[in-house]
Amino acid sequence: MMVEVLKSKIHCAKVTEANLNYMGSITIDEDLMDAANMIAGEKVAIVDNNNGERFETYIIKGERGSGAVCLNGAAARKVQVGDIVIIMSYALMDFEEAKTFTPSVIFPDSFTNKIII
């Protein structure tokens, strides 16, 4: 049996930009992506802590070290710059493997989106 489990999570990042005039997706600083074990094109679920919105999109690699968390296209209507979001990705895995799997969870600084060590 396969189950879908949390693979990666960026917990409480600040939205730095909302770009309505783009085809879609979320742009994430490559440092955040690496720390959370996420890749470009990966499907993510996003939760906005400020307004309760929940939606899905895919990742576009942002400039390394920029702190970028930019919602693009229609998703830009679901957030405001400065909102705090949780970005999650999931993976399918064997039930037994899932029992011992540990997801990558990071907690960036909520002002700069820099990795807190």
Is 58 noted as a catalytic residue in this protein? yes
Q: Check 22, 58, 66, 110 and give the catalytic one.
A: 58
Helices (H), 1-117: 30-36, 95-100
Task: Categorize the per-residue pLDDT at 20 as very low, low, confident or very high, splitting at 50, 70 and 90.
Answer: very high
Q: pLDDT at position 104, please?
A: 98
Q: Check 25, 66, 89, 110 and give the catalytic one.
A: 25
Q: pLDDT at position 117, please?
A: 65
Q: pLDDT at position 40, please?
A: 97
C-alpha triplet 53, 57, 63: angle, nearest 5° = 105
CATH 3.40.980.10 correct for 2-106:
no
Is 90 noted as a catalytic residue in this protein? no
pLDDT at 86 exceeding the cut of 90: yes
